[in-house]
Amino acid sequence: MRRSRQAKPVMISPMSNPLSGNAALLARSLAAVWHPCSQMKHYESFPLIPIARGKGAWLYDHDGKRYLDAVSSWWVNLFGHCNPRINAALRDQLETLEHVMLSGFTHEPVVQLSERLRELAPAGLGHCFYGSDGASATEIALKMSAHYWRNSGKPEKSQFISLQNSYHGETLGALSVTDIALFRDAYGALIRQHSTVPSPDSRIANVGETNAAYALRCAAALERHLQQHHHQLAALIVEPLVQGAAGMAMYHPSYLKRARELCAQYGVHLIADEIAVGMGRTGTLFACEQADITPDFLLLSKGITGGYLPLSVVMTTDEIYQAFYADQTARGFLHSHSYTGNPLACRAALATLDIFAQDDILNTNRSKTAYLNTIAKPLREHPRVRNFRNTGMVWAFEADTPHADFAQRCFTLGLQQELLLRPIGKTVYFMPPYIIEEEEIKILVERTLGIVEALA
């Protein structure tokens, strides 16, 4: 087919554009880019923020304004933007090997990363399977779990359960275990229906009931469900300790401990989705450590490359691995993505693990957490602040506000005050990069208090 001359796209070069700075990029983006998780029409009233560059905990727009990245760029960044050590590792890898397929081939970065993760993760998770985004890790774990049961002569075990308000990604399989109506309802006809069990979210404990007692009450509900349905169940999937998209719902580790026992007892896999909470976010390298458990599958993504490149990994046990190991091709796990185990992404992940070790990050984070909690006293005790809570490097609270559009107002006021805050409904949360300094923590906490007061 011949392309007509008239249809030739108009090239807008930054030089010839009558607009400049933020406005120019904004117009081009709206014309050509369909942005994720957005109703595009809303950008008419709440403009996009065109980011020119990043350094440390700060992002800079094209007009020279800066924003403190209090949400780690959607929970992925750990050691700041343009981290010199990760940059150097990537430059080195770029001159060596940018990519090779991982089916039938292998390379040093993916082997090293798998070995190091095996050393660091809860004992027994010796096999690493790679994907690209978090959702692809969820898909892999669901398929692997059901395929394990099929290979083990129990093909009827193909259902999954998740917690109420769970979030595990937005591809169809991941969405089928995600319990957030806004993301799910439009696609109801496309996804398999699975059951949910009560969330141990400590905000919904009874008055006078401890978080631990509430967690065990929810575990009892899980037990009743397993008793009834275990014959059809392949796996339970959970976000350990913090349900992020639910609004940073936090819960007591005793739920995980009990869920691990029950899953073992009833022959159901436990999938720990640590895509958001892994890599030190909850105070330990992996959240499961706080319950002293080994899940059957551990999912990592987001922070694993320090927030640089898409990479996800599903770690699993020798028992599961062995159920696929056979002469017949079809018993194998034939899933793949083109960029599985990309060497650049693996090098970024290795550099990230190096920083954890060299800078004793988990300890340093403990003092940052303590500092934030100390200076947050006026915020925590503010009459318009409810359920102020903290797990590791995650903080959240609900604002008692009359504004139905609180999230949008808070985001806008935040930008005016150099803060990138992105509330979930009336839940304001902080999930800063680990390199955030005391001075920046102070800016974050004090200005957030001002914003809450302005919107009370």
Site residues for ligand PLP per CB under 6 A = 133-135, 138, 167-169, 239, 244, 273, 275-276, 301-302
How many angstroms separate the Cα of 396 from the Cα of each of 105, 249, 269, 426, 445? Answer: 44, 8, 30, 10, 12
Nearer to ligand PLP, 114 or 301 (CB): 301
Separation CA 353–CA 79 (nearest Å): 11
DSSP 56: B
State the distance between the two ends of the chain, measured CA to CA, in whole angstroms.
60
Residue 283 CB, nearest distance to ligand PLP (Å)? 17
The CB-of-166 to ligand PLP minimum distance in angstroms stands at 8
State how far the Cα of 287 lies from the Cα of 273, in Å rounded to an integer.
Answer: 10
Cβ distance to ligand PLP smaller for residue 135 or 309 = 135
> How many Cβ atoms sit within 10 Å of the Cβ of residue 413?
18
In the bound state with ligand PLP, the residue whose beta carbon lies nearer, of 151 and 178, is 178
What order of strands is seen across the sheet that includes strand 419-420?
51-55, 58-61, 66-69, 419-420
Question: How far apart are alpha carbons 244 and 429 in whole angstroms?
Answer: 10
CB of residue 373 to ligand PLP, shortest distance in Å:
23
Closer residue to ligand PLP, CB minimum distance, 288 or 452? 288
| Closest to ligand PLP by CB, 56 or 247 | 247
- Name the minimum Å distance from CB 17 to ligand PLP: 32
The nearer residue to ligand PLP, 259 or 455, going by C-beta atoms, is 259
Least spacing, CB of residue 242 vs ligand PLP, in Å: 9
Smallest distance from ligand PLP to CB 174, Å: 7
335 and 292 in contact (C-beta within 8 Å)? no
Nearer to ligand PLP, 300 or 441 (CB): 300
CA angle, residues 57, 429, 369, in degrees to nearest 5? 65
The DSSP letter of residue 18 is: S
Q: Hey, what amino acid is at 287?
A: A
Query: Which residue is at the shortest CB distance from ligand PLP?
Result: 134
Contact 53, 60 (CB under 8 A): yes
CA distance 113 to 123: 16
Task: Report, in Å, the least distance between residue 301 CB and ligand PLP.
Answer: 5
